[in-house]
Structure 1
Amino acid sequence: MSEVKISAEPRTEFGKGGARRTRRAGKVPAVLYGHGEAPKHIALPAREFAAAIRRGGANQLFAIDVSDGTQALALPKAIQRDPIKDTFEHIDLLLVRRGEKVTVEIPVQLVGEAARDTLVMPQIDTLSVSADATRLPDHLDLSIEGLPSGSQITAGDVKLPEGVELIADPEQVLVVITGAPTAEQLEAEGAGVIEETPAEESEEAAEGETAEGETAEATEAEAPAQA
């Protein structure tokens, strides 16, 4: 994944009021941190940042040029969005160096089609890997072409690009392939649900009648003794 160059400005206003004014100006509040350095508060152009994330995903590498002369390479560590407006509220950026390995979650994309009459059931859609911060894959392809019912694909089955190391448990199941239910099975299951209800009600009624009979017998047996 290639790095995206983006300009930034130092941010001197903090708190909710300062953040709102930053966003109204078309920028996103952000903080740069890592490598033991003091956090640096900056503002990024909202449109440029959003466009880069759409193209490169959440692991997009940024070459940040701050107007005070600071230059840095950074990866998004945490992105806060407005759930209603779908805009960026705040960004945490982790400082990285060229050649440095980082651990990130990479999206997994399914490729191909499983065998006929099967259901593909994804279990996990990202994979934890370690790779050079400047050579992170934007996604990992996982082929399900022709897989029959009963197949499982684990993290250890994924073919990783050169220089990418698996961090996740290799036994972690990513995808399960099962047989699709037939029309007859669906109909039988529906009929079974309908037939069970009266039977259960009959059993409950019978149990109720038995309990009432036992109570009546006990009362009759006790009556002479009380007399």
Structure 2
Amino acid sequence: MAEVKIQAESRTEFGKGAARRIRRDSKVPAVLYGHGTDPVHITLPGHDTMLALKTANALLLIEVSGAESLLALPKQVQRDPIRGTIEHVDLVIVKRGEKVEVDIAIHLEGEAISGTLVVLENASILVEAEATHIPDGVTVSIEGLEAGTAIHASDLKLPAGTTLAVEPDTLIVNITAGTTAAELEADLASAPGADNVTVSATTVAAVAE
């Protein structure tokens, strides 16, 4: 994973009022911590930070005037619930060659056989990897798999240098038999208030698909 260089500014004002002023200037208040150092309060450029954090586990090279550049990973990102803008960022300091635990995404590819239901039990998996070599995710092929197939963490093909940080029997993907139109119709018929429900064949077929 490539490093994203971000020019930061030291921050000496704190509190809600100071944070609002920073955001009005299209910047983001943030804090750096880790490796036994005192927390470092900084201000990040809003647009550059937003672009960098579109990538999961983005590795940031934080440059602060008059201070040593620091490598960091986003630990917590607070966003405005309405506008989605970044409100605050917690960054954890990492070192080159250091191993860290991070969640990476599970990507499914291919299609199971017709009539099955594919359930992604875990959309991400906790792994241990070098801070400078965090994989973007792991791909799982479900091509041609039949009902009754289960894929566990131990079945994942992780990149070299990356290891599991969860139990090997953690369920990732579960493939079951899909509900048929007849089964769906029977379930609806036995449901409370079914006497007042009319289901067309078209509706049943659409839901069953």
Task: Tell whether the structures are fold-level matches, with TM greater than 0.5.
Answer: yes
Distance 2:189 2:71 in 1: 62
Q: Percent identity?
A: 51
User: What SS class does the counterpart of residue 191 from structure 2 fall into?
Assistant: helix
How many corresponding residue pairs? 195
Measured against aligned partners, the alpha-carbon deviations of 1:46-84 in whole angstroms (never above 9, x if no partner) come to: 111111122x22x00001111233310000011111111
The answer on whether the counterparts of 1:122 and 1:175 sit within 8 Å (CA) in structure 2 is yes
- Residue 123 of structure 1 deviates from its aligned partner by 1.1
The answer on whether the counterparts of 2:108 and 2:139 sit within 8 Å (CA) in structure 1 is yes
- Corresponding position of 1:36: 36
Amino acid at match of 2:90: D
Amino acid at match of 1:120: V
Against the structure 1 CA distance between its residues 91 and 187, is the aligned structure 2 distance closer, same or farther, given a 3 Å change threshold? same
- Corresponding position of 1:27: 27
1:62-141 to 2 correspondences below 5 Å: 62-141=60-139
Distance 1:12 1:68 in 2: 15
Amino acid at match of 2:32: L
Structure with greater Cα Rg: 1
The answer on whether the counterparts of 1:63 and 1:72 sit within 8 Å (CA) in structure 2 is yes
The answer on whether the counterparts of 1:98 and 1:133 sit within 8 Å (CA) in structure 2 is yes
User: What SS class does the counterpart of residue 114 from structure 2 fall into?
Assistant: coil
- Corresponding position of 2:207: none
Which sections of structure 1, spanning at least 5 residues, go unmatched?
Answer: 198-227
Looking at secondary structure, tell me which structure has more helix per residue: 1
Amino acid at match of 2:144: G
Distance 2:180 2:148 in 1: 16
- Residue 193 of structure 1 deviates from its aligned partner by 3.4
Against the structure 1 CA distance between its residues 186 and 18, is the aligned structure 2 distance closer, same or farther, given a 3 Å change threshold? same
Amino acid at match of 2:47: R
For normalisation by structure 1, the TM-score amounts to 0.82
Against the structure 1 CA distance between its residues 86 and 195, is the aligned structure 2 distance closer, same or farther, given a 3 Å change threshold? closer
Measured against aligned partners, the alpha-carbon deviations of 1:133-186 in whole angstroms (never above 9, x if no partner) come to: 000001111111111111111111110000001111111111111111111111
1:1-227 to 2 correspondences below 5 Å: 1-54=1-54, 56-57=55-56, 59-193=57-191
User: What SS class does the counterpart of residue 113 from structure 2 fall into?
Assistant: coil
Distance 2:95 2:5 in 1: 15
- Residue 196 of structure 1 deviates from its aligned partner by 8.7
Against the structure 1 CA distance between its residues 186 and 6, is the aligned structure 2 distance closer, same or farther, given a 3 Å change threshold? same
RMSD in angstroms over aligned alpha carbons?
1.5
User: What SS class does the counterpart of residue 17 from structure 1 fall into?
Assistant: helix
User: What SS class does the counterpart of residue 99 from structure 1 fall into?
Assistant: coil
